[in-house]
Amino acid sequence: MKKTIVTMSTVAVVGLTSAFFAETAHAEKTVSQIQDERSEIKANLSDAEAKIAQVLLDLEDLNKKIARVDGALAENKKQVKETEDKIKDTKQKVDELEEEIAVLEDKIEERFEIMKERIVAYQKNGGDVQYLEVLFGSKSFGDFISRSSAVSKISDADADLMKQQEADKKAVEKKQAAVEEKLDELNDMKAEQEAIQDTILEQKEQNEAAKQELKDKEAQLKEMKANLEGKDSNLAALEADIRASMEAANNDTPPVSGESNGSSSSHSTTSKPSVKAATAPVPSGSTGSAITAGNKYIGNSVYVWGGGRSAYDVQHGRFDCSGFVSWAYRQEGISLPASTAGLSGVGSKVSYSNIQPGDLVFFDTEGRKNGHVGIYIGGGQFIGSQSSTGVAKVSMSNPYWSKAFKGHVRRVK
């Protein structure tokens, strides 16, 4: 009976060992495939970033062009307004001249009445010309000569007045003609300026449409980039999980000789090796540069999902929590995943009682395990990119974070 138990135990060990090597080989193949996929994604990311950079350059050029068009439009509007003011002034001058002409015409009519009265007075005083004959014309050549003589006498009496009257009327009419000519010129100028303004407005609309197209393209590229970064983060996390499982499996030593029935059964029911927590602290190495690099973004950053994974994000202080941690450690020359899932498997797990500056601290947030990550900086504080503040130093005893902290600490090797 004992021999049977030993034989079965040996078979179980051989079967488990074969399964372990098969799983390891499959994991290695998967890691290779993941690395190939990540290389392709990174190439696509690089292409997307280059296109985004070009779109930003095009937007900058277009904004300058729009600014020039806006300037031309404003200047043209100013000229149209000035022309309208001139037209208004010129029309007022025309109205004033027309009033002067009307006054002169009234004076002419008054003088005509005076002339008629003088003719009547001349006739009553014994003149040779009858009033009706003066008014309605002569009936004979002699009468014509007599009437002409009478009119000539009256005209001589009013010669200076009549000359002044005609001179004034011609001067006013001349002024009126000049003003009206100027008014026509101004109206033509206004029509031309309005046509130019319509052209500028059309150009502005075209530029604005082109700008909107570029913005749409930029949004599409950024969305594509975010999707690629998300895929890369997921692959990085998957790769980290596989590597952690492989490392844990390599640290396990299966039994090589017969054991009791209980121990054999216990080992054979283990479906997958688990990651073991380190029993002794592993130095996390120098992390001064990572923390120092992060300090400069305190109060000078903004939380952006997927941020911290491009030069543009870093330049403008755009980070999410895992992107910030990954970027900060790159300043140490240490490459880490850019997702909380990937970071949760790096290095070795340590207890909070043994925590050191530079260790990663994880928090369960929004119903997700390890939904947030930061870098412990000592003194019961960590630095990280929070959605409400951007990059900031936070106390581990903060009610929100102390409740979300479940003791998950990892030390980067």
Rounded to the nearest integer, the mean pLDDT of the chain is: 75
Instruction: Please state, in angstroms and rounded to a whole number, the distance separating the CA atoms of residues 329 and 277.
Output: 22
pLDDT of residue 88: 87
The residue that leads in pLDDT, 302 or 278, is 302
Q: Model's pTM, two decimal places?
A: 0.36
pLDDT of residue 322: 94
Cα torsion for 205, 210, 216, 220, to the nearest 10°?
A: 170
pLDDT single digits (tens) 37-69 = 887 887 888 788 888 889 888 888 888 878 888
- Main-chain phi, psi angles of 366, to 5 degrees: 55, 40
Which tokens sit at 298?
């305190």
pLDDT tier for residue 273 given thresholds of 50, 70 and 90: very low
pLDDT single digits (tens) 182-237 = 888 888 888 888 888 788 888 788 888 888 988 888 888 887 877 787 777 677 76
Q: In what order do the strands lie in the sheet with 405-411?
A: 348-350, 405-411, 360-365, 368-378, 381-386, 390-395
Q: Are strands 368-378 and 360-365 parallel, antiparallel or unpaired?
A: antiparallel
pLDDT single digits (tens) 74-121 = 888 888 888 889 888 888 888 888 887 788 778 777 766 776 676 666
The answer, yes or no, to whether residue 384 has pLDDT greater than 80, is yes
- Main-chain phi, psi angles of 375, to 5 degrees: -110, 125
Q: What is the DSSP letter of 275?
A: P
Which tokens sit at 254?
């299966």
Query: Are 31 and 280 contacting, i.e. CB atoms less than 8 angstroms apart?
Result: no
pLDDT of residue 199: 84
Instruction: Please state, in angstroms and rounded to a whole number, the distance separating the CA atoms of residues 353 and 365.
Output: 22
pLDDT of residue 285: 45
The answer, yes or no, to whether residue 24 has pLDDT greater than 60, is no
The answer, yes or no, to whether residue 358 has pLDDT greater than 80, is yes
